Amino acid sequence: MNFFHKILIANRGEIALRIIRTSHEMGMSTVAVYSDADQNAQFVKAADEAVHIGGSAPLESYLHQDRLIEAAKRTGAQAIHPGYGFLAENAQFAQRCEDEGLTFIGPSVKAIEAMGAKINAKAIMEANGVPTIPGYRGEDQSIKRLVKEAQQVGFPLLVKASAGGGGKGMRIVRKIEELETAIAGAKREAKSAFGDDSLLIEKYFESAKHIEVQIIGDQQGTILHCFERECSVQRRFQKIIEEAPSPTLTAASRKDICEAAVRAAQSIDYTNAGTVEFIYDTKSEQFFFLEVNTRLQVEHPVTEAITGIDLVRWQILVAQGLPLPMKQEELSINGHALECRLYAEDAQDDFRPATGKILHWSTGKTPNVRYDSGVTSGDDVSIFYDPMIAKVITHGSSRIEAIHRMLKALGELACLGITTNRHFLRTILEDSNFILNKFDTRYIDKELERLNKQDNPSNTIFEYSIAATLWQWNKRREQKNLLKALPIGWRSNFYKAPSDAYQVDEQFLSVSYHHLQNHRFQIKTGELVAEVLFEYADEHEVVYRIDGHRKAFQIAKKNEDFYVQSDAQEARKLSLVPRFPALEEEKIPGGYKAPMPGEVVKVLISLGDTVEEGAPLLVLSSMKMENTIYADEAGTVEEIYVSEKGFVEADTLLLKMKT
């Protein structure tokens, strides 16, 4: 038995907090490790001890094996939990832990190595009767051979990194003209993310579901499945909504796919927690093996919700050599669970990652809702890590009940100051295709324009501007200053109503108000006039009645910008227009600026090049996602101000074109 009582968590953010919580419940002491960017993070404060391990970039900290091992030895930790991502599926790190006398809370080195390369993993599955997707998984990785094999597989097909996951190094190819570019891009991304540019080519199913089975094994040879999850709602090949059980499977197909997952685990003598992923072809109703994730999954909470087990607790028990506390026949499905991933990204702008400070973070009080997050008000979302901020998990007696709870929970949640996908998630949950289970893994790709269509009532911005105006009025009312004897809103010109002007995107609103009496106002913008009763305001909430309708808004202010949201509508930024506008920054003709902070991955042009409209110019990486900058119009490259591997801030001038 590997008895231990202190665990080092080799990870960050919400998963570090998740592991700390269960460890403390079990009476285990915890050690956090942190980078420069995370020195004030919530998980650092929650752990019993914390050790600084380097710079903000993952290679300087969370991927630095020597520093992690040193931190464990320095603090006397006997075990390391890798969480997910970073080194969680790194066989070398697992072996290093073993060599140093540390318990790696995860599967064996042998299992990680067997499943680490998808090419090898599929060969093992085929030999053990687990159905696999037709495709090429050979050792010859030359462009010529990959192109030849792709033509034999047929289009559409998927070019996929052998060594990784999370949608990195993955491209859908629908015609041969796109193939070589897709292969080159996938190889580059795979090499950057995983240090291995090996690819495999698979048949691509135009209408398919993503089904995965949670497995866990102990050192006594018992392997259990904890039923399946459906993760078909994805963008950029990354999941954003997961649920358990799958609304697609019948009882018979559930039995078949879960038994196949157990066979897959048995074929590699699997121990600890893992996930066997399958693609489910909705036309043939057949499933095919995708991969084994040899770690805890991001979406594990939905399995916990329907089974009542704590997978992290079971991981720790198994790692100590103890048997699993339940038998297969004792596990059952109770109700339905959903998980929504809250990302710092702009769904209106091709899911571009967002960075910045969280001015206000709050969650609601709806029952049967779990929030797994690693942030609070005042925290920064940086360019160095994944843009996921939190996971919201709901449970109900039925799928519809879980959906209703999720809508309520997302409505109550506030993450003001940065752009998130909160409203986009709500839009999906309310969409009839999602409710009726008429979706597949390409659902967002196919329906993005419709899902992104703004459906805000015409008076939403007016109501938001009222909230900002009343918040300011209340702030002035509370101020203790030399003029406190004067009435709030007093003006030397009595006949001119006080007013504020706001800019929302390209729209300008001039809002004037008359304070009547007893907190009653008449507020006007353009042709819109409303009778408003102010009820309450604090640092981050405004409540008022507009024409007798009581409404509540969450609000945060930074400099002259207000961030406002209500339950049903998306958060918006209202910028207070100064009464004496500053001079606008001069625009540089032909200049291209960075749309976000990030690393310059690839400069695709050279000085003097002539490029066509729509041609790729350079590639930026932010929050583990690549974003290509394209030419707005044809021209000649006149200046290039950045170089590869360099970091740039948002609005940095990247290059200049002569058009």
Q: Which residues are catalytic?
A: 295
User: 3-class DSSP state for residue 412?
Assistant: helix
Specify the pairing of strand 208-217 against strand 135-136: unpaired
Residues 6+ apart with CB under 8 A from 279: 133, 205, 208, 209, 210, 211, 287, 288, 290, 441
CA–CA gap between residue 562 and residue 552 (Å, rounded): 15
Cα Rg of the chain, angstroms: 27
The tally of CA atoms less than 13 A away on the side-chain side of residue 402 is: 27
496 close to 487: Cβ distance less than 8 angstroms: no
CA distance 68 to 74: 10
Contact 246, 350 (CB under 8 A): no
CA distance 497 to 515: 9
Candidates 219, 210, 304, 224; CA nearest to 261 is 224
Closest CA to 368 of 300, 434, 302, 437: 302
Q: How many Å from the N-terminal Cα to the C-terminal Cα in the chain?
A: 71
Q: What are the two backbone dihedrals, phi and then psi, of residue 439, each rounded to the nearest 5 degrees?
A: -145, 160
474-to-450, 469, 515 alpha-carbon distances in Å: 39, 9, 12
Q: Are 10 and 86 in contact (CB under 8 A)?
A: yes
